[in-house]
Amino acid sequence: MIAFAACVADAEKFRTIAAPGLRTAAEADSVVVEAQTTTSIFEAYNEILEAVADRDDLEALVLLHEDTEILDPGFCTKVREVLADGTVGVIGVVGGRGADGLAWWNAPVKAGRVTETRGVIDFGTPGVVDVDAVDGLLLVLSPWAARELRFDTQTFTGFDAYDADICAQARAAGKRVVVAELEVAHRHTRTGTSRTAEDGQADTADDSSYARADRLFREKWQAGGVATKAPPAQSSSNDGTPRGAGVRDGGDADSYFEFTRPELRQLVPDSARRVLDVGCGAGALGNALKDERPGLEVFGLEGFPEAAERARERLDGVFCLDLDALDALPDDLGTFDAIIFGDVLEHLRDPARLLRTLRGALADDGVIVCSIPNVKHWTVVMPLLVHDRWEYQDAGLLDRTHVHFFTLEEIDLMLRECGFEPQHVGVNDHSPLPAELMPLVDLVAAFGADRNEAAARLGAYQYLVVAGRA
């Protein structure tokens, strides 16, 4: 069953525009939901998700504006075809890849086609195209997305950023966001409650609500999500004090301490009651978890005293220590349902040692949640192959404080040797493989690699791994 839902502020628009399209697209067993709101599309869409997400027969949830009309009688069939392989989390009709903020229409790569009030917007990209974000005039969520994702009412309000943020959440969990050939008309007259492809370029600079949403989106995802730099763990300050995971040498240490890491938080099981954050910084991630899940206990390990002191104000307990020297946790600390290693392991002299040490603190049915950068990413491989360059940076994949470099195979091998069984592998994808680099994939395939797998691994910036006890 494919469900359809609209966020309705103007009932007349819905009756004359969206409703006829729903009669065209909906099937006999389709559910159609209206959510009335004039204040927050985030809250309205979450109400819809709560209403349909747990249905066993749900095949997709289509969220559309009141002034969006579906013209495609084969809409449901096409949606099923795109979602068939299970890799896609969100489908739209227009979108972009490589934008710096909310304005997907300013992205270097744009895709899709839609009829707008002023004419047809057609980027000349037939078929299914991977993008970073799609326009919210129409969002198709897979059953996985309907169950696992929610619109972020803690960070955002109003009617901007909901589409880009839900796409970022899906991509952070390793799902694809795509544009597909679905015939849709957006019969848009701007009323100040939304922004889409037609008016996106006109007045964003003067719109304070949009500008605020754009700033919040950048802060969330560039400082703590799909565009985050892997923070160092356990380097040393000039005075010899061990530094924790939140410290950046020569940079803005305060911002490093405050990463909330939504892409990691959503991998912590809903059933978890006690969590250990390894390299917790100032406790921002754990604090966000506690806000989201009342009653959750979160403890932290942090090497930098100032950050640990801040974290103690937010978490249930924080230990300031050197992760490379840790032999055991206090006996009375008990076990944890989840242990988070957020960009920590690559900075340690012996990451396997720490994994083995903390394995004893993991509950029998607990999991570890790891984010680990991929040294096989094309932004590392191409300079090495073409220019013979391997340049260390203050941030990113070749952060000069990285001690170990990992590929997916090496991550899997390390976890298994330490007594863990990987259960889920996702991708935190800052810069997907550009189309012009596909000849590199062809070359790798000529030497015996699987072509699709090679493309995926060259485009994976950072792996998000959930593992349990072997």
Domains of the chain and any CATH numbers: 2-219 (3.90.550.10), 253-469 (3.40.50.150)
Helix or strand (DSSP H, E) at 195: none
- What is the DSSP secondary-structure string of 268-296? S-TT--EEEEET-TTSHHHHHHHHHSTT-
Which pTM value belongs to this model?
0.52
Q: Are 10 and 66 contacting, i.e. CB atoms less than 8 angstroms apart?
A: yes
- The confidence score (pLDDT) of residue 99 equals 84
| Distances from the Cα of 127 to the Cα of 93, 113, 191, 260, angstroms | 11, 11, 32, 36
User: Could you tell me where the beta strands, DSSP code E, fall in 39-101?
Assistant: 60-65, 68-70, 88-92, 94-97
Nearest to 216 by CA among 161, 285, 284: 161
Task: Using the structure block, give the residue that is written with the tokens 């403890």.
Answer: 299
Cβ of 137: how many Cβ atoms within 10 Å? 25
Q: Are 427 and 434 contacting, i.e. CB atoms less than 8 angstroms apart?
A: no
User: Could you tell me where the beta strands, DSSP code E, fall in 145-209?
Assistant: 176-179, 184-186
DSSP 17: I
Q: Is 436 exposed, middle or buried (0-12, 13-18, 19+ CB in 10 A)?
A: exposed
3-state helix, strand, coil in the chain (%, to 5): 35, 25, 40
φ/ψ bin of 192: left (φ > 0), alpha (ψ from -120 to 50), beta (otherwise): left
- The confidence score (pLDDT) of residue 205 equals 36
Q: Which residues contact 77 (CB under 8 A, 6 or more apart)?
A: none
Task: Tell me the pLDDT of the chain (470 aa) as tens digits.
Answer: 999 988 888 888 888 888 898 899 989 988 888 777 667 889 889 989 998 888 899 999 999 998 899 999 999 999 999 999 889 999 999 999 988 789 898 888 899 999 887 678 888 888 999 999 999 999 999 999 999 999 999 899 888 999 999 999 998 888 999 999 999 999 876 543 344 444 443 333 335 788 889 889 988 886 433 332 222 233 333 233 222 332 233 333 344 445 688 889 989 999 999 999 999 988 999 999 999 999 999 999 998 888 899 999 999 999 999 999 999 998 889 999 999 999 999 999 999 999 999 999 999 999 999 999 999 999 999 999 999 999 998 778 998 889 999 999 999 999 999 999 999 998 887 777 887 888 999 999 999 999 888 988 999 999 999 999 99
3-state secondary structure of 352: helix
**139, β-bridge pairs:** 63
| Distances from the Cα of 58 to the Cα of 62, 173, 278, angstroms | 11, 20, 37
Q: Are 397 and 431 contacting, i.e. CB atoms less than 8 angstroms apart?
A: no
Q: Which two tokens stand for residue 411?
A: 């991550």
Task: Using the structure block, give the residue that is written with the tokens 């086609």.
Answer: 113
Instruction: State the Cα–Cα distance between residues 93 and 321, nearest whole angstrom.
Output: 50
